[in-house]
Amino acid sequence: MLRADPDPLKRKPYGFFLTICLLALMGSFLAQYVLQLQPCNLCIIQRMPYALAIAFSLWGMISQRNSLIYQLLVACFVIGLVLSLYHLAVQYGLIKDRCRAASITKDIQVFEDLLLRKKGCGEISWVMFGLPIPLLNALLFSFLAQVHFL
């Protein structure tokens, strides 16, 4: 008699998560270093959940602690979703853009250089398929967090 696997978390698609997160990070690095699109601070911070998810996916592929690792992966995706939605709210003016705030400095030239060099997080500068990248990130993080229901 065939029995279902008692722990369905053992079948979670860690390879799928790994592939999607690697593609997302490679796309952002390609845009930054090859296409010369300069990311804002929030764009860079949104890469962190992808990097953590890559590490957790690799760990999940070799470990027996699948339920803990899967919970950590879902937490990464939820944190990424929150960061993406926050960034989107900044871009649409719902939340004040704090990315342009520079650290306290006594040299006015350093302060001016910081303001001129960094893009504000409220500017919509990266667009794909007519949608801002934070919105695409939010959609991707939402999808990844829901994969276990599929």
| The domain defined by 11-149 carries CATH number 1.20.1550 | yes
Confirm if 7 and 66 have CB atoms less than 8 A apart. Answer: yes
3-class secondary structure, 127: strand
Instruction: Give the tens place of pLDDT for each residue, 26-74.
Output: 999 999 999 888 888 888 999 999 999 999 999 988 887 778 888 999 9
Stretch (H or E) spanning 44: helix 41-45
In the chain, how many H helices and how many E strands?
6, 2
The encoded tokens of residue 78 equal 């939820």
Confirm if 73 and 57 have CB atoms less than 8 A apart. Answer: yes
DSSP letter at 34? I
| Owner of token pair 């993406």 | 84
- pLDDT for the residue numbered 3: 46
pTM, full prediction: 0.78
Domain definitions of the chain by residue range: 11-149
